[in-house]
Amino acid sequence: MEKIPILRMGPFLLVTIQVDLYDRLAENLESDLVQMVSKTGAQGVLIDISAVSIIDSFMGRIIGNIASMSKIMDAETVVVGMQPAVAITLIELGLPLKGVHCALNVERGMELLRSRIALTDGTPDDDADTE
């Protein structure tokens, strides 16, 4: 059975989705990732979806769910590398992924994660986009 690897990198978890996601795979990823966050006490999760070219409402919801779950487990989630077509599809489906931070590529995503963790470590997060 296919499985999406979850890599640990310092205080972060790295998930790169290299195949087109189908429903079962996505559901497994969701539960695996939450398990992994609790086991490692990761502070940030980075999901790379640059290889995903097709997305449906279910997948959009799963990504949103993962972000919300990690958030309540005190880990920031950043989705990186979304393709323009995927972004337009999500918007047209009415899924603007509120509460999920996005970045153009992995590099920017790591930067964003670091700055957000520095923020939460220091003064209380006063960013407007917290849910």
Does the protein bind another protein through residue 21 (CB under 8 A)? no
Residue closer to another protein (CB basis): 20 or 107: 107
**Binding another protein by CB under 8 A: which of 69, 87, 117, 119?**
87
Task: Tell me the three state secondary structure of residue 68.
Answer: helix
Rg, Å, the chain Cα set = 14
Range in contact with another protein (rule: CB under 8 A) among 5-13, 22-30, 103-111, 117-125: 103-111
CB of 66 closer than 8 Å to CB of 8: no
Range in contact with another protein (rule: CB under 8 A) among 11-19, 31-39, 67-75, 107-115: 107-115
Residue 105 per-residue DSSP state:
S
The β-bridge partners of 6 are 15
Does the protein bind another protein through residue 97 (CB under 8 A)? yes
Summary count for the chain: helices (H), strands (E)? 4, 5
**Binding another protein by CB under 8 A: which of 88, 99, 125, 127?**
88
What's the closest the beta carbon of residue 10 comes to another protein, in angstroms?
21
**Binding another protein by CB under 8 A: which of 82, 110, 113, 116?**
82
Angle between helices 23-40 and 57-72 (to 10 degrees): 10
- Calpha distance 116→29 (Å, rounded): 24
- Interface contacts to another protein, rule CB under 8 A: 79-80, 82-84, 86-88, 90-92, 96-97, 101-105, 108-109, 112, 128-129
